[in-house]
Amino acid sequence: MAESEPRQRSGKKATSSPVDKEVVKDDKYAEGTNWVEGGLEANPYFFALIIAAPFLSLLFSFLTSPAMKDTGVEPNLSAMVPACLANLPGCGLAVFGAGVSVVPSIKAVGFLLCFMGVAFLLEFVPGKVEFGPETLTGHIPKYIDNGVRHYIIYTAMFWAGSNLGPANFYDFGIMFDVFPAAVATLNIFGIVFCMFLTFKGLTFPSTADCGSSGSIIKDYLWGTELYPRIFGWDLKRFINCRFSMTFWALAGFSYAYRSYTLHGQIDWGLFFSALSQYLYLFKFFWWEMGYMRSIDIIVDRAGFEIQWGCLVWVPAVYTLHSRFLVLNPSHLDFSVALALFVLSLAGVVLNYAADRERDIFRATNGKALVWGKEPQFITAEYAIVDHKTGEETKKTSLLLASGFWGVARHFQYLFELIAAWSWCFLANPLVNGVLPLFYAAFLTYLLIDRAKRDSTKCLLKYGKYYEDYCELVPYKILPGVY
């Protein structure tokens, strides 16, 4: 990090409270949390969602499956809610029965083993060596940057192995066909896998960024280790990126193909939604090293919240709006679908532009122009602690307050939400109801919460320097609003 002095600040005071000062309770931070605590007490609403999430994932898969069509009930909340209110006991039993009816199958297990097996083999694709941020204990995670190669090769292999390619091992629409059983399988595997991660973090952790909270429940949900690896294999990146994001990307096209085989025509809403999400996730893998420096990786421990979330919640919820359209077409004409696609693509491009702007700023130690001008930033000092000796070492970071990052601290989240809401509107909620909007609504809540948590982390890490930064950039996501 650069050791230069901060640029001259504007001196303009924030019109709202710039930082969440109530988070600072003492000067001692728990070991291995990378400057911020997390877990149950951090957000009770999110905790409630976590408890309900395994069942919700099964229910969502049922609502978008042929089994739901066989019931003769339309998966539209405007129709289902009044019916439930008229007979609450019967509705409760029906909902519970729908969820528990989703069970694993041999075909789904075989598909998932092959899907993860290919992803594992692609871990050995060569790439440039990159590093993540240094933790409070002085650990610097090391990565092989081969995400784009993984993405391209996996896409080619998935096509080549299907009936659309030369091998013809499986139908290209297989991801829709096995989806409910796959979610049931992933649920069981995810719960057991997180038990293993809890045990590993307590007994044979990979780094010093580990430990128990004193509560076995919190340890299981929040995690006991920040960077778990087995023989050098990064478990966190594999689950968060190589499995979940690849599944999400390929699912859209698999669903679009199944829709075409069922209805004999292209559903433009589904096609453009799948295409936009695929391009968004190409951007994700292009920027994967940026993700490895984000709050998901450097703050969130490898517990149920994030590991089960990526294993099950991402496939079940992040593809919900696309999966819904297979049996419930959007009926959008080409021009409307194209317009929403262009809007979503604008969100994807601007989201990447914001992330790229900060990456260049960091790579040049603040010497690159931002929007044609000298960047304004804060040079923030912080300390890391040697885990063995207790010795503190002073470090510095540059906090950018120009360009996108001068508009709001997480202005890039707004662009991500534009893309997400566009994908969900491509499911035509005017015809299909509000259920396909669930992903965008969840992501809105998630990013608002993440922006708040990031402010907490930065305040604990940088102290008064971050307070100065928040005077320059008072809003978290949307200027004048939040």
Q: How far apart are CA 40 and CA 38, in angstroms?
A: 7
Above 90 in pLDDT, residue 243? yes
Q: How far apart are CA 389 and CA 411, in angstroms?
A: 40
Q: List CB contacts of 349: < 8 A, sequence separation 6 or more.
A: none
With CA atoms as reference, report the closest residue to 172 among 108, 113, 281, 253: 253
Q: List CB contacts of 16: < 8 A, sequence separation 6 or more.
A: 474, 475
Dump pLDDT digits (tens) for 174-227: 999 999 999 999 999 999 999 999 999 999 999 988 988 888 888 898 899 999
The DSSP 8-state label assigned to residue 5 in this structure reads P
A 10 A CB-CB count for 101 gives 14
**40: confidence class by pLDDT, cuts 50, 70, 90:** low
Above 60 in pLDDT, residue 19? no
Range from 87-91, 201-205, 330-334 carrying the lowest mean pLDDT:
87-91
Range from 48-57, 338-347, 348-357 carrying the lowest mean pLDDT:
48-57
DSSP string, 424-465: HHTT-HHHH-SGGGHHHHHHHHHHHHHHHHHHHHHHHHHTHH
Predicted local confidence at residue 300, as pLDDT: 86
Range from 27-41, 57-71, 240-254 carrying the lowest mean pLDDT:
27-41
Above 70 in pLDDT, residue 10? no
Predicted local confidence at residue 5, as pLDDT: 35
Residue 339 CA neighbour count, 13 Å, CB half: 5
Q: List CB contacts of 96: < 8 A, sequence separation 6 or more.
A: none
Range from 93-102, 325-334, 412-421 carrying the lowest mean pLDDT:
93-102
Q: What is the pTM of this model?
A: 0.87
Predicted local confidence at residue 459, as pLDDT: 87
Above 50 in pLDDT, residue 357? yes
Dump pLDDT digits (tens) for 136-177: 788 899 999 999 999 999 999 999 999 999 999 999 999 999
